[in-house]
A and B are shown apart, each in its own frame.
Chain A
Amino acid sequence: MRTKLLKWSLMMGATMVLALSGHSQAQLTTENIASRLNMEAHADGLTGHAKAAEMDYRRYCVGCHGPLGDGNGENATWLDPKPRDFQLGIFKCRSTPTGTLPTDEDLFDTIARGLDRSNMPPWNTFTKQMRIDLVAYVKHFSPRFATEKPGAPIQIPPEPEVTADRVKAGRELFKKMECWKCHGVQGMANGPSSATLTDDQNRPILPYNFTDGTRPKCGSTDRDIYRIFMTGLDGTPMPSFSDNIKPDEAWDLVFYLRTLQPANGMNTKEREIAKQLNLPPVTPD
């Protein structure tokens, strides 16, 4: 009798835990996901096969991203930001327009780069073959990769010379596009809207702080920064600005954003120009 009661209460408890833990809106079955195990990925002249990554995923990724790739791995409860839900096919770091799938190369780069200020480390010890196989494995979780094509990567014109005029024009864009509303007038992530930002799962999220020496989530080269605001970071409050910033003007904004960062070896010239111009922070009208 007692064991029966114990069994019953244990089962009820387990059911409740299961019922409460499913936060994700997408819940695919193991069979549904397994039907895409023939998924391939192509980048850097390599071909990746999802099947070949099964063991690596179980060894390195499953703890956070979970066996179903929905970001509900056993560590997920203790993580912030939460691990990505691969089933949705929505990714922050893309070379493609907002609302489209990333290219295989985007995912290939993200695995190697990691995501700064999250629990996703740079997996730079993996061989390229391991990485491209894992890209195929990540893709096989979402039915979207079987039916949709990635967006066409945005065109980035060659980087021009940094000039005082360009830095000043970039400052005007920072004001006009109202980047400061979230990132703050000095880029300190303390704009008037910063405290209320939430991601697509309604979890609180912070804007990037340009001044604390951390790296932007989707890469720290000039081209990476260009891509970040022109494609937006899907799943987050960061929108795409490509409808409103012309390709060449976007470089001006990159140069201005560089002046907000502390010296990091990639912004020597921009900081020097800002110092000479004695540029004050933008002032909202």
Chain B
Amino acid sequence: MKRAYKYKLAAMVPALALVAVAIALLGPKVSAAPAGEGSITGMAKLDGSAPHMRGIDMTKDPWCAKQHADNPAHLENVVVGKNSGLEYVVVYISEGLSGAEAGEKPSQVPVFDQKNCMYTPHVLAMDVGQQFKVITSDQTAHNIHPEPNPMTGNIPWNRSQPPGAPPILTSWKTEEMIQVKCNIHPWMHGWFAVVKGPYGTTDDDGNYTIKDVPPGSYTLTAWQEEYGKQTAKVTVAAGKPATADFTFKAK
């Protein structure tokens, strides 16, 4: 009797293991459903006067210059809007997500456009492994040249996009803030902000929203290309938006 029980138990162990594996595999999908997912909102501000953003002289490419005839272009390293709101700040969860949660990839495809000889948006945030698209709206040729550090696992590449070129669809392997440049137009400068897990980017008034955050306590990191990184602690409850604001001190 006792013996038979033992065998039963032995048979149950692999079965249980299978169930555990199934739960581990299906788990993330279940939590991806809107079952009480929270969100984080907030604002990034600049404390102090915004540095002067130099105007860009595009006369070397007459087509580019023509697009900005009535609307001169400026550098976009620090863009300040209403109430000192800071644009192009990437806010992401740097601590507190489980491996499975951090491993989830959003299905939408962010787009990086070369428009009027500028990068639109100036900073494109994306998840590790998330597909993104590089397109050109311009009637002048660009070369798109991201320069990650190849020792991290992200490998630099350099491709031409003449007018009418097909989009480039690709992704990055690891977290890194990657500078992008066009060698033909040396003023063109942008970023691929590759982070792990949910993220948000501040709009022209400095507001951001991070959607689909499972309830829990997290460390948020906000990154700005000139002012670096800042962190904040935040607790998200089911279905309730949490808030976290950031203030960057002008240099």
A contact residues vs B (CB 8 Å cutoff): 25-26, 87-90, 98-100, 143-144, 148, 176-178, 181-182, 192-193, 196-198, 200, 232, 234-241, 243-244
Contact = CB atoms under 8 A, between A and B. Distances in A.
B160 A143 contact: no
Contact of B141 (A89, A99, A181, A238): A181
Nearest to B168: A243
Contacts of B155: 99-100, 144, 148
B158 A98 contact: yes
A100 B160 CA distance: 16
Given A178-B184, A193-B60, A244 B160 contact: yes
Interface in B104-148: 140-141, 143-145, 147
A192 B151 CA distance: 34
B95 interface: no
B151 A239 contact: no
Contact of B186 (A100, A196, A200): A196
B156 to A, nearest CB: 7
Interface residues of B, number: 26
B202 interface: no
**In the A-B complex, the 9 residue pairs with the closest CB atoms:** A99-B157, A237-B183, A178-B141, A239-B143, A239-B160, A196-B186, A239-B158, A98-B157, A192-B60
Given A193-B184, A237-B143, A243-B168, A87 B158 contact: no
Contacts of B158: 98-99, 232, 234, 236-240
Residue of B149, B156, B165 contacting most chain A CB atoms (<10 Å): B156
Interface of B: 60-61, 140-141, 143-145, 147, 149-151, 155-162, 165-166, 168, 183-186
Contact of A144 (B150, B160, B185): B150
Contact of B145 (A196, A237, A243): A237
Is the contact region of chain A dominated by helix, strand, or loop, or is it mixed? loop
Nearest to B187: A196
14 contacts: A25-B149, A178-B140, A181-B184, A196-B60, A234-B156, A234-B158, A236-B158, A237-B184, A239-B144, A239-B160, A240-B157, A240-B160, A243-B161, A243-B165
A133 B168 CA distance: 37
Contact of A193 (B149, B159, B183): B183
Contact of B157 (A88, A182, A234): A234
Contacts of A99: 155-158
Residue of B144, B149, B158, B168 contacting most chain A CB atoms (<10 Å): B158
A243 B184 contact: no
A238 B145 CA distance: 10
Nearest to A143: B151
Contact of A200 (B141, B147, B185): B147
A193 to B, nearest CB: 5
Contacts of B60: 192-193, 196
Is the contact region of chain B dominated by helix, strand, or loop, or is it mixed? loop
Contacts of B168: 243
Given A181-B184, A196-B186, A237-B145, A26 B151 contact: yes
Given A25-B149, A237-B183, A98 B162 contact: no
Contacts of A182: 183-184
B58 to A, nearest CB: 11
A65 B60 CA distance: 37
B177 to A, nearest CB: 14
Contacts of A238: 158
Contacts of B145: 237, 239
A100 B158 CA distance: 11
B159 A243 contact: yes
A244 B151 contact: no
A90 B185 CA distance: 23
A243 B150 contact: no
Nearest to A241: B160
A240 to B, nearest CB: 5
A70 B158 CA distance: 22
B185 to A, nearest CB: 7
Given A144-B155, A237-B143, 10 more contacts: A181-B141, A181-B184, A193-B183, A200-B147, A200-B156, A237-B183, A239-B145, A239-B183, A240-B159, A241-B160
Nearest to A148: B155
Nearest to B158: A239
A194 B117 CA distance: 17
A198 B141 contact: no
Given A87-B151, A88-B150, A200-B156, A176 B162 contact: yes
